[in-house]
Chains A and B, each alone.
Chain A
């Protein structure tokens, strides 16, 4: 998943970035709301948003994003623990709310959960034809056989199954999987999609000519 972390604390931001990256996620880190402007047109699977930032309120930023039609899942990460704060956060458009301090493992699980729900799946498993995708174990099963995937292959598969039935353009997929590294390897996505098809079957990922890729999940 490609995540945008908006957090001003160096210790926490650095720790979360490293933790999520070791989980295989592409993480961009904005230390101020002003820095977020650099990612305005970038696709993300989720925003991890602090409330109190040096140049403004994360909650106001969230309200503005929701007003502009941005439906990207948001996990609020804040020290504000009062009930009315949590209610304000959730009512302002956050999909989930975590009070600092928290275990990064729990935060990662909540990120997965809000992204799953955003993709229309409540459970940890998503079925794509004969393939069972386990979003928690980060692996795929073809029948009874566990198929080992590289980190990048998994990221491509995850990005597609979290957008079931939707055409994901190549450039969007590149940025979701590779982040800003996508500019360095323009054919990387084709390579990973091809690899996925070899391991999980050609019918797993549909190529919509001239537009992008699509997977159709089964309920």
Chain B
């Protein structure tokens, strides 16, 4: 069974502890009950036996002195729930003498020495050795149960506070033992393996050493991978950007030197080369979108004015400043409006509908609701291949790199994209 995402080790341990404490208390109580019952029964039986042996002498003497047996009561005779009978079995069982409150009939119809049970009584019988008489000492079952219960409850009540104290102490101990995990979490939140000399620090518990080692190993692998990617991006940037600049420079010269009839064709080639430059810049920016974001304040109107786009009216009036990486945002916006232009838009409006949110809205044909849903699903799942164009993919990656997201709000006309650029720096 998978644990719920919100379950905590401390909570789970505490719940287990409480459950096991309850079970322990129940088991302990049962054990005490059984043991105490046995011991109390034994003790009471010993008492019965001692009482019976103690009664035989006085009863014998009193009967020798021709005192009416039914009125004879030895000085030590117990009363109430503890009673006795002297029964003669000559010519059938008949009561010779008994304590006050004792049953009116003999406890046994036949002589029964030793311990026995009759309804409501625990009985010990012993022959007196005279006239087939047997003395029975009895204790009520109710009294015996009550005595056992009182002792068991007393034991339980004495044990429960100890158990409660143990539970509280163990909970506190669990918290203390889990503290290194919380500290590890704090350290990890501050840990940046890309910083020179950054380490996670020594493990505070033996059990956490493998975790520290695994994290350090992971950080090492990530650091090497990022370094390789940065090196690759740097090489790719040089390998791609320089020839593109060369192509543009050569085309610019060719345009100057060419006959007038050849210039439109050359100009189209140059326009295509410029678009290729933007795509390459976007791809390189996309590699960078996994890297650290360099936030600064962006004047949206100034950014719009610098965009190398021709034949498209851009309105960025009334926009609020953004706090984001200017290069990444420029790359994203450039590709969005390049998309808009290629889909027939004549104008694009920039607006800032929320804090650090940039909306790019064009006046093109837009997309139908079904296609918009497909695009949203592709963006949410980050499953871009074959489902979105480069512009939306790059814009989404840029937004995510800033800790935000990309949304495609409904619009009555044209196509709108909103880049949420996350919480800016204070």
Contact = CB atoms under 8 A, between A and B. Distances in A.
Given A80-B237, A81-B237, A12 B253 contact: no
A8 to B, nearest CB: 9
Nearest to B242: A9
B257 A15 contact: no
A11 B253 contact: no
B253 A101 contact: no
Interface of B: 234, 237-238, 240-250, 252-253, 256-257, 274, 277, 280-281, 284, 288, 294, 308, 327
Nearest to B288: A82
Q: Which of B242, B250, B288, B308 has the most CB of A within 10 A?
A: B242
B242 to A, nearest CB: 5
A100 B327 CA distance: 14
A184 interface: no
A29 interface: no
Interface of A: 9-16, 18-19, 22, 52, 77, 79-84, 99-105
Contact of B249 (A16, A79, A80, A82): A16
Contacts of A100: 241-242, 244-245
A105 B256 CA distance: 12
Contacts of A105: 252
A101 B237 contact: no
A12 B252 contact: no
Contacts of A80: 234, 237-238
Contacts of A9: 242-243, 245-246
A13 B288 CA distance: 28
Given A14-B250, A22-B253, A104-B248, A81 B284 contact: yes
Nearest to A23: B256
B252 A83 contact: no
Contacts of B240: 79
Given A102-B248, A103-B252, 14 more contacts: A11-B249, A15-B250, A15-B252, A19-B252, A22-B256, A79-B240, A79-B242, A80-B237, A81-B284, A82-B288, A82-B327, A83-B327, A101-B247, A105-B252
A81 B294 CA distance: 12
Given A80-B234, A83-B294, A12 B245 contact: yes
Nearest to B296: A83
B252 A11 contact: no
A102 B245 contact: yes
A22 B249 CA distance: 12
A103 B274 CA distance: 9
A173 to B, nearest CB: 27
A19 B249 contact: yes
9 contacts: A15-B248, A18-B250, A79-B242, A81-B237, A81-B327, A100-B241, A101-B245, A101-B277, A105-B252
Nearest to A99: B241
